[in-house]
Amino acid sequence: MKLYTSIPKELKPYFKAELEKYKAEKTLGNLKNSWNHLERAHIIGQKYPFAHTLVHWEMLKFGLKIKSRKEILGQIPRLFFGGIKSFVGKIPIGNPGGANVPALKPFPIDKELQDIFISAGIQ
């Protein structure tokens, strides 16, 4: 069994860029675009406990900002268990991480994100 820890240096710039775009769009009030970048950061970082937990923390704060009871209640267990599942390599690949989708359901990864993984040497 492979134990995952921190996000690889080849993937980190893509992860950070999505978080920066998330924050910029949120600051401008573009909540839909903001959330989209947060979901992309989730997909990029979900194999790695610290990155995965950070995104769920941001998703919880986003839920609080928009006063979404569903998102807040959905993020609490994800915040606690997502990083643990990442650590032992048991994550649903491609899951965007929001409370609007089942927590354990895998999703196809769009071509642009697949290309990011390929360019970072991550399969």
Residue 46 lies in a domain: yes
Tell me the whole-structure pTM to 2 decimals.
Answer: 0.94
Cα 16 to Cα 70: distance, rounded to the nearest angstrom: 26
Biggest distance spanned by C-alpha atoms of the chain: 43
User: pLDDT digits over 16-32, tens only?
Assistant: 999 999 999 999 999 99
d(CA 48, CA 66): 27
Q: Specify if 107 maps to a domain.
A: no
Query: What angle is formed at CA 33 by the lines to CA 122 and CA 110, rounded to 5 degrees?
Result: 35
In a domain, 122, yes or no: no
Residue 48 phi/psi, 5-degree rounding, is: -120, 120
Cβ 3 vs Cβ 89: under 8 Å:
yes
Domain count, the chain: 1
pLDDT tens, position by position, 39-82: 999 999 999 999 999 999 999 999 999 999 999 999 999 999 99
pLDDT at 3 over 80: no
Phi, psi of 61 (to 5 degrees): -65, -40
Does residue 18 belong to any structural domain of this protein? yes
